[in-house]
Amino acid sequence: MTVTIWHNPACSTSRKVLAAIRDRGIEPTIVEYLKDPPSAAEIKAALKEMGIGPRELLRRRGTPYDDLKLGEPNRTDSELIAVMAKHPILIERPVVHTRKGTRLCRPAERLDEIL
């Protein structure tokens, strides 16, 4: 099975999900998205696969969320996606993609839905 994880090694949930993938005998493709950010098109595709909107993927804590006024209701989905592409720290993690689907694995148990 091919598995890709948008991973932040500083995040305990991301590390836990990566360990759970490896515990199943799978070595995933690891995208350290802070070093190699996904494009706006990749973020949009992941959102579509997950069936969620960009606000559900936005991380607030420890990010420029408030400074960029991303909580304002007049922000469009396209604007939010563009901001996440420019500032990948705003992307909640970990995002895992398999042939069975894509999930924001927060909580980590959501991984079971796609493995």
Catalytic option among 4, 5, 11, 50: 11
Give the percent of the chain with pLDDT over 90: 99
Instruction: Please state the domain extents for the chain.
Output: 4-113
Question: In the CATH hierarchy, which fold is given to the domain comprising 4-113?
Answer: Glutaredoxin (3.40.30)
Whether 105 is catalytic is: no
Cβ-contact 87, 67 below 8 angstroms: no
Q: Residue 4's pLDDT is what?
A: 98
Query: What is the sign, positive or negative, of the torsion defined by CA atoms of 39, 87, 66, 59?
Result: positive
Q: Provide the residue-wise pLDDT of the chain in tens; the chain has 115 residues.
A: 899 999 999 999 999 999 999 999 999 999 999 999 999 999 999 999 999 999 999 999 999 999 999 999 999 999 999 999 999 999 999 999 999 999 999 999 999 999 9
> pTM for the complete prediction?
0.94
